[in-house]
Amino acid sequence: MLTFVVAGTLTLTTRGGHTTSLNPGDLFLVDELSAAHMGISGPAAIADWYRSVVEPDWPGPEAKSSGPRNLDAARAQRRSQDQPNL
In the DSSP assignment, the letter for residue 80 is: H
Band (pLDDT 50/70/90 cuts) for residue 82 is low
pLDDT higher than threshold 80 for residue 4: yes
Q: What is the pLDDT of residues 20-67, one digit of tens each?
A: 888 888 888 888 888 888 888 766 556 788 888 888 777 777 777 666
Domain ranges of the chain: 1-56
pLDDT higher than threshold 80 for residue 68: no
Look at residue 74 in the predicted model and tell me its pLDDT: 61
Look at residue 79 in the predicted model and tell me its pLDDT: 60
Burial (0-12, 13-18, 19+ Cβ within 10 Å), 22: buried
Show the beta-strand stretches assigned E in the chain.
2-7, 10-13, 19-22, 27-29, 39-41, 48-52
Q: Are 27 and 20 in contact (CB under 8 A)?
A: no
